[in-house]
Amino acid sequence: MKAKGQSFAVFDLDRTITRRSTWRAFLDYASKGPVSRGASLLGEASAALRYALGQAEREEVKIAGLRARLAGRSRDELRALAARFTEDVMQTGLRPYARQAIEAERERGSCLVLATAAIDLVADRFGQALGFDHVVATELSWNEDERLSPHLATPNCYGTEKERRVMGMIEQQGGTLDFMASDHHTDLPLLTKAPRGLVVNPKPGFAQEASGLGLEIADWETP
């Protein structure tokens, strides 16, 4: 554990360190082979459509995907799947400059935090593999028989919820936010709070907004 007064460097995961969303990719990875959950899959498709129409939140979509493809499976099975999935992504699915950027913050003496809406089952693996000190993620819920519950243990760690949890953790540690890297506009509160806010490979609309706010923009695909 780092000392009080420590500076914290916070990194988003999906499309910041990785090239793709780990949630959708892990759902597909975990669903290889026969799937016989027709009603649940229809529920997942319905939630995705409502989200596209602006009638549902991301959390509803995530819970629908969880119920359709993961709920009821054992902790050991899903841990093994998460380990293999993470190893695969670490081989070819990271942005080329991500590791170097993480190492640069480590060399500055910062306490490294991976803060993501990804599920803890996967985020914890990335955090361990990349040497993060803390992981803040969406937490899954497990039944007494060690099978995955169809509910989340925490709200989706996204937008204001991510900001709340990250800042709460930093304050509890007696530290300060020094650096934030993210690709997404929903992380603007953290990006603008950090003395060094870095926007990574943003979409054009967010790139323009970030530039207008004086945030640095980086391309981690072609360092």
The predicted pLDDT at position 39 comes to 42
Can you spell out the DSSP letters for 116-147? Answer: EEEEHHHHHHHHHHHT-SEEEEEPEEE-TTSB
The predicted pLDDT at position 143 comes to 96
Average pLDDT on 22-34 reads: 84
Place 34 in a pLDDT band, splitting at 50, 70 and 90: very low
Place 36 in a pLDDT band, splitting at 50, 70 and 90: very low
The predicted pLDDT at position 55 comes to 58
Whether the per-residue pLDDT at 129 is higher than 70: the answer is yes
pLDDT tens-place string over residues 138-155: 999 999 999 999 999 999
pLDDT tens-place string over residues 53-80: 575 577 788 888 888 889 999 999 999 9
Q: What are the b/e assignments for 27-57, b being 16+ CB within 10 Å?
A: bebbeeeeeeeeebbebbeebbeebeeeebb
Going from the N-terminus, what domains does the chain have, and what CATH number goes with each?
A: 7-218 (3.40.50.1000)
Tokens read off for 33: 């082979």
The predicted pLDDT at position 96 comes to 95
**Of residues 179 and 46, more confidently modeled:** 179
Tell me what percent of the residues of the chain surpass a pLDDT of 70.
Answer: 87
DSSP type of residue 76: H
The predicted pLDDT at position 213 comes to 95
Q: For residue 88, count other CB atoms closer than 10 A to its CB.
A: 12
The predicted pLDDT at position 131 comes to 97
Average pLDDT on 96-111 reads: 97
Q: What is the pTM of this model?
A: 0.90
Average pLDDT on 16-33 reads: 90
